[in-house]
Amino acid sequence: MIGLVDVNNCFVSCERVFNRSLVGRPVAVLSNNDGCCVARSNEFKALGIAMGTPYFQLKNREKSGELVFCSSNYELYGDMSRRLISILREEALDVEQYSIDEAFICPPIPADKVRGNREEGREEIAAWLLDYGKRLRAKILRWIGLPCGIGFAPTKTLAKIADHIAKKRPEGVFVLPDDPTDILASLPADEVWGVGRRLVVKLRAEQIFTAKDLRDAPDDVIRSVGGVVLLRTALELRGVPSNEDKDYDADPDSVSCSRSFGEPVTTLDGLAESLASFTAQAATKLRKHSLLAAGCNVYAQIFHSGGGGDFLGRTVMFPTPTDATNEMLKAIREEVDALFIPGTRYRKTGVVFFGLEKVGTARQLDLFSPVEKSEASPLYKAIDSLNKRYGKGKVFSAAEGLGERSWKMKRTKLSKRPTTRWDELMTVR
Amino acid sequence: MSSKAKISRSVVAGFPSPAEQYQEPPLDLNELLVKRPAATFFVRVQGDSMIGEGIHDGDLLVVDRSLRPASGDVIIACVDGDFTVKTYRRDKDGVRLEPANPDFPVIQIKPGHQLDYFGKVTACIHRFVGK
């Protein structure tokens, strides 16, 4: 079984931990350069204001006191995300961070529950998972103040669906039933993880409207509509784990890259090189999807012979949202030292990008934000095509910067960064 | 000649330092003060409402959110939108937050209202230099 833990309205929830006056009010967090709404509280959603609504259209309602806005405080969200992962690490057998506010977990189902395949045994596991999920959820809420939904299912794609249902339940936890046909029949096919809107027309032509239709369609039909990627999704809907690809290449919502080392890494150079290489790989994916990232979390896991091990992590903000590998490497390089403890053996490193936006889109929403610097893009387009043609990593960055940026990301409504800056701590009277 | 070889830096062989087997990592304040990093937050004190507990204006408090409050604990809670550090009391008279300074009022939590608890104060760092 796989669990998906997903923080509810993550950015807004992070703001509310340290600013209680935001509780119960319609709050939205704005994208890079205060462009548009990228996270909304339930109260904000209830007003019918869509994700992506430009901020300038809502300024009057902010002045009147109806709505509250915050700039993206990625330093805070990144730190809270690291705390979440470290709690999950304590409570689960394995954790795979999927995005800044989501992670797949492998729940530690007790061995005596797994034995046998009796009907009774499966019910016992479901009951155990529900209880485990509730305890985990309560712990996360108490320790870091973030509410989350937790869904359990046999595959990642089904866990996503279970999590979606979990969020609508008061207990915040849902275990997908053995036969989820009814649930799949009420879910539009394009809302299944990894399917996407662009396939809707093709799917309809094949009479595939719901997740159930997709699950039950013949393999050759599925393949003709969406290739092997869609077939994998269909297999997952059938309960067959088929998404072991850790880079989630088909999904632009999450851009990350991580690997466990064959042999534990013990040197600063080894650590730095692995992170640089993963950053370059993830950046290639950003460019493939025409995305810019505002920053990233870099992490390293310490090797323990018994498996698992503590995570060390840093949040890195890029001077401005970017898709340029060399600018990322320059920003990341300064943080790698903080992850390195001499004499420590490392099991795994990784990078997770956040603050993703389509190239050009967020900027156009705000006439007064500085013009996007564009010279990096053709360069990397060329590098990507060379790498595609001659093999991954043939052309790479020497980790040199292009020089200082002349401007920084605009964040006029930035809250304090109480977990990463000594001079911005929360004050108590 | 042989005694010279023993003290040469380039020669790794020879007798190990007698101190080697006693080598330990240096003392780390994080290890002492932060038992659960994921649940621990630092906050800055403003004002003298807890001066009687040795908590001064400008001090740094270590706060552990994972700990549940017991009567008599120094805690961080939110009252009317502002975070406050006070002693938590819970008895037959209800729940209240007590300052450690007679100039400040006791905050009574109204019956039926839930205390907006943030975390328990586990340490106070009072600096004499470099505030």
- Give Cα B100 distance to the centre of its chain: 18
Question: Residue A202 CA to chain centroid, in angstroms?
Answer: 28
Buried b (16+ CB within 10 A) or exposed e, B34-62: bebebbbbbbbbbbbbbbebebeeebbbb
Q: Indicate yes or no: CB of B47 within 8 angstroms of CB of A429.
A: yes
Q: Which amino acid would we find at residue A21?
A: S
Spell out the alpha helix ranges (H) of A186-264.
200-205, 211-216, 219-237
Residue A404 pLDDT grade (very low, low, confident, very high; cuts 50, 70, 90): very low
User: How many C-beta atoms lie closer than 10 Å to residue B130's C-beta?
Assistant: 4
Which residue is listed with tokens 């595939």?
Answer: A208
What's the DSSP call for residue A357? E
- Short-list A220, A265, A261, A211, CA closest to A238: A211
A254: confidence class by pLDDT, cuts 50, 70, 90: low
In-domain check, residue B79? yes
Number of residue pairs across A and B with CB atoms under 8 Å? 63
Q: How far apart are CA B27 and CA A365, in angstroms?
A: 52
Q: Is the pLDDT of residue A407 over 50?
A: no
In a domain, B76, yes or no: yes
Is B111 a residue whose pLDDT tops 80? yes
H helix runs in A250-304, sequence order: 268-288
Mean pLDDT of chain A: 84
In a domain, B6, yes or no: no
B64: in domain: yes
Is B18 inside any structural domain?
no
Domain A256-355+371-406 fold is Dna Ligase; domain 1 (3.30.1490)
Inform me whether the C-beta atom of residue B6 falls under 8 Å from chain A C-beta atoms: no
Which tokens go with B104?
């400040």
User: Are A357 and A321 contacting, i.e. CB atoms less than 8 angstroms apart?
Assistant: yes
The widest CA-to-CA distance across chain B, in whole angstroms, is 87
Q: How far is B47 from chain A (nearest CA, A)?
A: 6
Which helix (H) or strand (E) element contains residue A29?
Answer: strand A27-30
Distances (CA, A) of A130 to A12, A29, A97, A156, A294: 26, 32, 21, 17, 36
Assess B66–A contact: CB distance below 8 Å, yes or no: yes
Per-residue pLDDT tens digits for B96-108: 999 999 999 999 9
pLDDT at position A117 over 70: no
Domain with residue B78: its CATH number is: 2.10.109.10
Report yes or no on B1 lying in a domain: no
Instruction: Report the interhelical angle of A325-339 vs A376-390 (nearest 10°).
Output: 80
- What is the least distance, in Å, from the CA of A418 to any CA of chain B? 8
pLDDT score of A405 more than 60? no
The CA distance from A203 to A213, in Å, is 10
CA distance A42 to B57: 38
Give the integer Cα–Cα distance in Å for A138 and A101: 17
H/E stretch holding A293: strand A291-302
Closest CA to A359 of A295, A255, A289: A289
Share above pLDDT 70 across residues of chain A, in percent, rounded to a whole number? 83
Q: Say what the pLDDT of residue A301 is.
A: 84
Nearest Cα to Cα of residue A26 among A47, A57, A5:
A47
Provide the mean pLDDT of chain B. Answer: 88
- Helix (H, G, I), strand (E, B), or coil: what is residue A207? coil
Residue A139 is classified by DSSP as: H
Cα–Cα distance between A354 and A100 in angstroms, integer? 6
- Quickly state the pLDDT bin for A399 (edges 50, 70, 90): very low
Other CB atoms within a 10 A radius of the CB of residue A392 amount to 12
**Strand positions, DSSP E, B2-81:** 40-45, 60-64, 74-79
Interchain contact, A20 vs B116, CB within 8 Å: yes
HSE (side-chain half, CA atoms, 13 Å) at A245: 16
| Residue located via tokens 């401007």 | A407
Inside any domain, residue B23: no
> Which residues of A touch chain B, with CB atoms under 8 Å apart?
20-21, 83-84, 86-87, 90, 139, 142-145, 418-419, 422, 425-429
Reference A351, options A383, A375, A329, A382; nearest CA is A329
The runs of H, that is alpha helices, within A92-150 are: 111-114, 119-144
Do the beta carbons of residue A28 and residue A39 sit within 8 Å? yes
On whether the CB atoms of residues A159 and A153 are closer than 8 A, the answer is yes
Provide the domain limits for residue B61: 30-125
Determine, for residues B65 and A144 on separate chains, whether the beta-carbon distance falls below 8 Å.
yes
- Residue A183 CA to residue A86 CA, distance in Å, equals 32
**pLDDT tens digits, residue range A275-321?**
888 888 888 888 888 888 888 888 888 887 666 667 788 888 888 88
Alpha helix locations (H) across A340-404?
361-364, 376-390
Residues of B in contact with A427 (CB under 8 A): 43-46, 83
Nearest to A189 by CA among A207, A171, A165, A170: A207
Task: Point out the least confidently predicted range of A95-99, A120-124, A137-141, B76-80.
Answer: A120-124
Nearest to A428 among B38, B84, B116 (CB): B84
CB atoms within 10 A of CB A310: 13
Amino acid at A271: L
**A417 or A252, which is more confident?**
A417
| Contact between A77 and A11 (Cβ < 8 Å) | yes
Task: Closest CB to B85: pick one of A21, A142, A428.
Answer: A428
* Cβ-contact A166, A153 below 8 angstroms: no
pLDDT tens string A341-351: 888 888 888 88
- Residue A364: what pLDDT? 37
B78 with A419: Cβ contact below 8 A: no
Cα separation, A176 vs A161, whole angstroms: 8
Q: Which of B62, B78, B116 to mutate to test the interface with A (most CBs of A within 10 A)?
A: B78
Nearest to B104 by CA among B127, B117, B86, B89: B86
Instruction: Say if B75 is an interface residue toward chain A (CB within 8 Å).
Output: no
* A287 CB neighbour count, 10 Å cutoff: 19
Mind listing the pLDDT tens digit for each residue in B50-85?
999 999 999 999 999 999 999 999 999 999 889 999
Identify the bridge partners of residue B91 per DSSP, sorted by sequence position.
B94
d(CA A337, CA A333): 8
Strand pairing category for A173-175 and A148-153: parallel
Give the integer Cα–Cα distance in Å for B84 and B82: 6
Number of domains in chain B: 1
Mean pLDDT to the nearest integer, A376-401: 60
Nearest CA among A31, A102, A9 for reference residue A295: A31
Give the ipTM: 0.85
Residue B81's closest CA among A377, A178, A68?
A: A68
B61, B65, B116 member nearest A428 (Cβ): B61
